Structure 1
Amino acid sequence: MSPHAEAAGKHLWMHFARMHGRDGANPIPVISKGEGAYLWDDRGRRILDGLAGLFVVQAGHGRRELAEVAAKQASELAFFPVWGYTTPPAAELAERLAHLAPGDLNRVFFTSGGGEAVESAWKVAKQYFKLRGKPLKHKVISRMTAYHGTPHGAMAITGLPAMKQDFEPLAPGGFRVPNTNLYRHPEFAGDAEALGRWAADRIEEAIRFEGPDTVAAVVLEPVQNSGGCLTAPASYFARVREICDRYDVLLVSDEVINAFGRHGVPFACAKFGFTPDILTCAKGMTSGYGPLGAMITSDKVIEPFLEPGVTFPHGYTWGGHPVSAAVALANLDLMEREDLYGHVLSHADAFEATLKKLTDLPIVGDVRGDGYFWAIELVRDKATGETFGAAERERLVKQFLPGALFGNGLYCRPDDRGDVVIQLAPPLIVGQAEFDEMEQILRATLTEAWSMV
């Protein structure tokens, strides 16, 4: 065992990971280097990064120009808060994001990451309605299986009971509606438009059930992450926008994963045909070369906060960190200069077609997604769509797939927070050669997994 793996096994509290038994027979993997779309561990093995770290590294690993920008900014001004002040990078990035965002999303509140951005959005929504004389409007409606973050407020918006149960009671006010998983709604016979109408109507129904005077916001992702890259037609989002306007409810687009090129555009809501009142983002803003998130609000939402004497009593020490903001500006420049948005749009069909070759395997029930964000749903019975029981999930998702995929040279995400899926979201620089490599590794690993079933 390497000294780093040994030290981590004794002292590192890992995130979202089991820590029992991480000894010489099962050491914690140590990732020591990244270059382009590839990672190397401390044994010298090369692994294709099929998840962009954690939906983050849009521009790829080892981009020296981003590291140099960070070093230059740190040498000039390493830190100063935006608590009543600004720094040049924070001011410039706020302006840049306002110009990139659709509609009148013009005001940027910086956070350290995505969960904080969602937390901030809920707090803004509640204070916004208090300032407007509607103090009862505080509830939030989100979708089943959706994940929106780990802070207590963001977790209350999250639609994953198993993730919440150890921390309950959470902040009151979170309510759930159905998501848009077409594969798991066979009654719609593959008609995404019909499913979209039905699912949007459930949002209106929930608002009416709870009372429009008590509902502050609807929070949704343009492509829902948890549950496996769940898409919806543009008509769904248009209908949700109409419902929110009718009942004076703020629409929040959670784009912590979806933004910054994952779907071939700066912000996915524009691709899917709607403009929210609040947008949350993080991850790909810096391509992972610095921690940073943001909540972007419309002119309507910021208006009551600009009245004399009004303060939003909320903030984060690291929000708008000058080094991260400088890196974000350089990363956005790089993405535009190398046309990574266009690269995703021109290669997304090939990525889809390559992954859909796997549908000939008996364990693959569905392949779905958009852009460079795809999920493969695994099933026990392809004819009926039967999923796996608890013991099989434990064996496949927790024990076999992560190590087998990594050992075969692919880092991606087996996930059973909803149905059993493998998620793929590689750096935006990859092309057909990497698509083929992913497909070949997945094919070999899933063939072995099926033999276990």
Structure 2
Amino acid sequence: MDLETTETERLRTLDQQRVWHPYTPTDAYLNAKPLVITHGEGVYLVDSDGNRYLDAGSSLGVNIHGHQRRELNEALAAQAAKIAHTTLYGMTHPGAAELADRLVRLAPEGIDKVLFLESGSSAVETAMKMAYSYWVFKGSPQRNKFVSMGGAFHGDTIGALSVGQMTILKNFYQPLLRETSSFAQPYAYRCGLCHNNCNLACADTLEEVLEREGDEVAAVLVEPRVQNVSGMIVARDGHLARVAEIARRYGVLLIADELGVGFGRTGPMFACQADGVSPDILCVGKGLTGGYMPLTATMASKEVFDAFRGDGKMLLSGHTFSGNPLAVAVALASLDLFEKDDLIRHGQAQAVVLAEELDKFRSVAHVGDVRQCGLLAAVELVADVETREPFPMELGVATRITERCRELGMIIHSAPSDTIVIVPPLVMTEEELRTMARILLQATQEVVASLPT
């Protein structure tokens, strides 16, 4: 056994003895030989044995420009030479002011203020606190309920879990959660409302909820265009506009959770812009720093912000590392790269290439649905294509496909519904994108062929 392999085994053992991994089956992980990723090169991850893996999940959706991008490295180092951290409690720093202004200029019209945080869950919970506080200061404290779409995932802290609607999480943590309401998700493949003739009946179910509960609702939360974590559920054009119109009609705030869909993922800079919707509160993150530092933002309209003016009012929310200068500096450099690389246009062109490649999956046995919005896509596998019956969960079809992809040199992830989720870095070239699709197609065909008949 050479020294390099010995070091890999040492790190694996140390990890399995001490590290508790998120959303990872405990015994399966302890009995596995996990990868030890030591560095990145462009759109590739490299492990401690020197093996290279195409990062087809963008390291959980955060990698935009590729790993070890020189401009981002330099921005981080330059800021570290000045100051690593200073608080935003009652003061500011140059990067925070500049980044807030840049984000407002990029955001949908009407967004005017920015509060910095570190995680998506925190951004959503802060949005909830903003919405509730807004109504308290407006003299309607009874508006303390929230409504979200079926299948929604908005984070995994207690408040964010409360407004999430993923069954596996909702059921397990139910005793800890506050009561919320939901309306139908835009899941065309499994929709029982429109019967393959979509008229946005899923969005219209929001009206039924607000008709019953509207006087008590603070805000409606929605993931614009794509429900990311629940399996890349793609809404039809106009869905968000319909939801926004209903929310406005009943006088409730609209919170757009763009943590998984912002920064060019669905085509425009922000997904709301495709439907011409300006939310009251906008949550952004993941790709904000290009995957370098944890940084998110909860952004709000001037109307929401102005409710906190006068009589000593304030938003009772904020974190120690809100607006950390290192994270802000690399976020500014990331936005510079969007302009330098014309990345929005590049991503839109690559989405066309991805669509071509996804067509090849439609004829593969047990592929029930292929869906895409920009550079977010999914392949859903089912036991019976005609009835759309899912595979038994214990068969783990999607997991087997992701494991085979790893053997073939690619990291990609799956959703609980035997769905492979495709989240390539925006900077990916056409050749790299086609390589990604080829590996996934091979792995899918091989696993499907191995299934019991």
State TM-score, norm by structure 2: 0.94
Match of 1:343 in 2: 346
Measured against aligned partners, the alpha-carbon deviations of 1:54-106 in whole angstroms (never above 9, x if no partner) come to 11101111102211211111220110111111111111111111111111101
Report how far residue 187 of structure 1 moved. Answer: 6.0
- Aligned pair 1:439/2:441, yes or no? no
d(CA) in 1 for partners of 2:441 and 2:236? 30
Report how far residue 350 of structure 1 moved. Answer: 1.5
- Secondary structure in structure 2 of the residue aligned to 1:360: coil
For the Cα contact (< 8 Å) 2:186–2:236, is it kept in 1? no
Identity of aligned residues (%): 36
Match of 1:408 in 2: 408
d(CA) in 2 for partners of 1:281 and 1:122? 14
Q: Unaligned regions of 5+ residues in structure 1, if any?
A: none
Measured against aligned partners, the alpha-carbon deviations of 1:299-350 in whole angstroms (never above 9, x if no partner) come to 1111111223101111111111111001100000011110110101122122
d(CA) in 2 for partners of 1:233 and 1:383? 23
**Which stretch of structure 1 is more off in the superposition, 289-298 or 178-187?**
178-187
Write out aligned runs for 1:362-373 (5 A): 362-373=365-376
d(CA) in 2 for partners of 1:187 and 1:83? 49
Report how far residue 401 of structure 1 moved. Answer: 3.0
d(CA) in 2 for partners of 1:240 and 1:22? 41
- Secondary structure in structure 1 of the residue aligned to 2:124: helix
Write out aligned runs for 1:143-182 (5 A): 143-182=149-188
For the Cα contact (< 8 Å) 2:227–2:234, is it kept in 1? yes
Write out aligned runs for 1:290-439 (5 A): 290-392=293-395, 395-398=396-399, 400-416=400-416, 419-439=417-437
- Secondary structure in structure 2 of the residue aligned to 1:335: helix
Q: Which amino acid aligns with 1:17?
A: T
Report how far residue 431 of structure 1 moved. Answer: 2.9
d(CA) in 2 for partners of 1:63 and 1:289? 10
- Aligned pair 1:99/2:102, yes or no? no
Q: Which amino acid aligns with 2:239?
A: Y
Structure 1 stretches of 4+ with a deviation exceeding 4 A read none
Report how far residue 22 of structure 1 moved. Answer: 4.2
For the Cα contact (< 8 Å) 1:363–1:446, is it kept in 2? no
Distance 1:224 1:21, change over 3 A: closer
- Secondary structure in structure 2 of the residue aligned to 1:448: helix
Distance 1:384 1:171, change over 3 A: closer
**Which stretch of structure 1 is more off in the superposition, 403-412 or 96-105?**
403-412
Q: Which amino acid aligns with 2:20?
A: W
- Secondary structure in structure 2 of the residue aligned to 1:20: helix
- Secondary structure in structure 2 of the residue aligned to 1:430: coil
Match of 1:220 in 2: 222
Q: Which amino acid aligns with 1:92?
A: E
For the Cα contact (< 8 Å) 1:365–1:385, is it kept in 2? yes
Measured against aligned partners, the alpha-carbon deviations of 1:18-51 in whole angstroms (never above 9, x if no partner) come to 232545x622211112111111111211111111
Match of 1:452 in 2: 451
Report how far residue 181 of structure 1 moved. Answer: 0.8
d(CA) in 2 for partners of 1:132 and 1:243? 21
- Secondary structure in structure 2 of the residue aligned to 1:288: coil
d(CA) in 2 for partners of 1:135 and 1:67? 47
d(CA) in 2 for partners of 1:187 and 1:219? 21
Measured against aligned partners, the alpha-carbon deviations of 1:153-207 in whole angstroms (never above 9, x if no partner) come to 0000111121133333234232111100111126635434x1x2x1121001011
Write out aligned runs for 1:47-126 (5 A): 47-126=53-132
- Aligned pair 1:18/2:19, yes or no? no
- Aligned pair 1:4/2:11, yes or no? yes
Measured against aligned partners, the alpha-carbon deviations of 1:86-136 in whole angstroms (never above 9, x if no partner) come to 111111111111111111101001110111000000011111001001110
**Which stretch of structure 1 is more off in the superposition, 233-242 or 135-144?**
233-242
d(CA) in 1 for partners of 2:328 and 2:176? 32
d(CA) in 2 for partners of 1:236 and 1:166? 30
Q: Unaligned regions of 5+ residues in structure 2, if any?
A: 1-7
Write out aligned runs for 1:154-303 (5 A): 154-185=160-191, 188-192=194-198, 194=199, 196=200, 198-210=201-213, 212-222=214-224, 223-303=226-306
For the Cα contact (< 8 Å) 2:378–2:420, is it kept in 1? yes
For the Cα contact (< 8 Å) 2:391–2:397, is it kept in 1? no
- Secondary structure in structure 2 of the residue aligned to 1:355: helix
Count of matched residue positions in the alignment of Structure 1 and Structure 2:
443
Q: Which amino acid aligns with 1:117?
A: A
Distance 1:22 1:239, change over 3 A: closer
RMSD: 1.6
- Secondary structure in structure 2 of the residue aligned to 1:271: helix
d(CA) in 1 for partners of 2:70 and 2:115? 28
Write out aligned runs for 1:9-48 (5 A): 9-20=16-27, 22=29, 26-48=32-54
d(CA) in 2 for partners of 1:187 and 1:132? 37
d(CA) in 1 for partners of 2:177 and 2:139? 22
Q: Which amino acid aligns with 1:447?
A: Q
d(CA) in 1 for partners of 2:178 and 2:163? 10
Distance 1:187 1:174, change over 3 A: closer
Q: Which amino acid aligns with 1:183?
A: Y
